[in-house]
Homo-oligomer: A and B are copies of this chain.
Amino acid sequence: MANDEFTSIRQWTVRSAGQEGDGLRVGIGDDAAVFAVAKGMEIVACCDAMIETIHFLRETMNAEDIGYKAMISNISDVAAMGGYPRYALISIGVPPHWTVDECERIYTGLYEAADKYGVRIIGGDTVATPDALHLSVTVLGEVEAGKAIRRSAAKQGELVFVTGTLGGSAAGLHMLLDARTPGRNLASGFEELRLLHQRPEAQVAAARLLIRCPGIGACNDVSDGLASELWEIAEASGVSVYIEQDRLPILPLVAAYAHTVGADPVDWVLYGGEDYQLVGTVAERDAAELQAAFHQQGLPFAVIGRVKQGPPAVWMDTEAGQKALAKAGYNHFQRS
Q: Which residues of A contact B (CB under 8 A)?
A: 2-3, 6, 25-26, 29-37, 42-49, 51-55, 76-78, 80-81, 83, 87, 89-91, 93, 96, 122-125, 127-132, 134, 136, 138, 140-141, 143, 145-146, 148, 150-152, 219-221, 236, 331, 334-336
Contacts of A219 in B (CB 8 A): 31
Whether B25 contacts A42 by the Cβ 8 Å rule is yes
Contacts of A334 in B (CB 8 A): 3, 6, 128
A201 to B143 Cα, complex, angstroms:
34
Whether B54 contacts A130 by the Cβ 8 Å rule is yes
Contacts of A122 in B (CB 8 A): 45
Q: How far is the CB of A59 from chain B (nearest CB, A)?
A: 16
Contact of A148 among B34, B46, B47, B89 (CB under 8 A): B34
11 contacts between A and B (CB under 8 A): A26-B81, A30-B81, A32-B46, A32-B78, A32-B80, A36-B43, A37-B37, A43-B140, A47-B124, A51-B127, A54-B127
Contacts of A145 in B (CB 8 A): 36
Contacts of A123 in B (CB 8 A): 45-47
Contact of A128 among B130, B152, B335 (CB under 8 A): B335
**Most chain B beta-carbon neighbours within 10 Å: one of A3, A48, A125, A220:** A125
Contact of A45 among B32, B49, B80, B130 (CB under 8 A): B32
Whether A49 contacts B125 by the Cβ 8 Å rule is yes
Whether A42 contacts B47 by the Cβ 8 Å rule is no
Task: Answer whether A128 and B42 are a contact pair too, CB < 8 Å, given A31-B151, A81-B30.
Answer: no
A33 to B37 Cα, complex, angstroms:
16
Contacts of A6 in B (CB 8 A): 334
Contacts of A53 in B (CB 8 A): 130
Contact of A37 among B42, B46, B76 (CB under 8 A): B42
A32 to B48 Cα, complex, angstroms:
10
Contacts of A143 in B (CB 8 A): 34
For A96, the closest partner residue in chain B by CB is B335
A81 to B236 Cα, complex, angstroms:
38
For A139, the closest partner residue in chain B by CB is B32
Whether A148 contacts B25 by the Cβ 8 Å rule is yes
Whether A83 contacts B32 by the Cβ 8 Å rule is yes
A157 to B242 Cα, complex, angstroms:
71
Contacts of A34 in B (CB 8 A): 42-45, 81, 83, 143, 148
Contact of A30 among B25, B43, B151 (CB under 8 A): B151
Task: Answer whether A49 and B127 are a contact pair too, CB < 8 Å, given A3-B331, A336-B2, A336-B3.
Answer: yes
